[in-house]
Amino acid sequence: MKTLTLTIAAAALALAASAVAAPMIPDYVSAAVADTHRPDTDTKRDANRKPAEVLAFSGVKPGDKVFELLPGGGYFTRLYAKAVGPGGHVYAVAPAVNPETGAPVAPNPLASDPAYGNITAVPLSLAGMKAPEPVDIVFTAQNYHDLHLARFKLDVVAFDKQLFAALKPGGLLVIEDHAAEPGSGLRDPDKLHRIDEAVVKQEVEAAGFVLVAETDILRNPADPHTALVFDPAIRGHTDQFVLKFRKPA
């Protein structure tokens, strides 16, 4: 009986792990990925970036308000805009001024793209940012490590507290980033554009969040964690963690 109980428990754990590794893809997420307005430069990256799985893991749903931190070229901005639909909204949060040169940054073109209509650009400065309204999800991909670039001299836990304040009670913070060597701490953000997953967990939890899920959908055990993420030998195939935290209700 004891052996049978242990076998059942092990099977249940295996099923739970596979559910986290390969989340069910809702129809509205599949439709967002199939959006014909997405540029070829985005869709060609889908095999590596697994957008359907990432969005499903994030828990996004129609009508949600999403606060996307440092959206870059808008790969996930377009996806979230379609996933939340006309009843939802995406706030694309990026610097309006280059923090290093002081030069103005061109406005996010997606904020005026008629193919979407539910995207608003929100300015970010090293002094902080404020959400126009409480949001359901804060999301950032491959950028959390940039908060630790030495030239910014940023108090990252204090910054994370601003993300905490942006969320509704029970809201989610989802972080995807390039994994550094475990135990490396803050050795690699400047050098390799990677960060130790343990550091991210420690900082975000110090800001008041609770870790509720993590997934291996973007893991690559063949990545030795020693190369710059832009190195052609590893670019697009880095080992990446995806963590989901909740603001307590």
Write the pLDDT tens digit of every residue in 98-127. 777 778 888 899 999 999 999 999 999 877
Q: What is the pLDDT of residue 22?
A: 63
Contact 164, 207 (CB under 8 A): yes
Q: What is the pLDDT of residues 192-223, one digit of tens each?
A: 999 999 999 999 999 999 999 999 999 999 99
Q: What is the pLDDT of residue 2?
A: 36
Query: Could you give the 3-state DSSP secondary structure of residue 7?
Result: helix
Tell me the domains of the chain and their CATH numbers.
24-246 (3.40.50.150)
Q: What gap in Å lies between CA 68 and CA 146, rounded to an integer? A: 15
- Of 122, 132, 110, 5, the C-alpha closest to 68 is 122
Low-confidence stretches of the chain (pLDDT < 70) are 1-22
DSSP summary character for residue 108: P
DSSP summary character for residue 3: H
Q: What is the pLDDT of residue 1?
A: 38
Burial class (CB in 10 A: 0-12, 13-18, 19+), 70: middle
Beta strands in 31-88 (DSSP E): 65-69
Q: What is the pLDDT of residue 10?
A: 39
**In the block, which residue shows the tokens 């995207």?**
119
Q: What is the pLDDT of residue 165?
A: 96
What residues contact residue 214 under an 8 Å CB cut-off, 6+ apart? 20, 241, 242, 243, 244
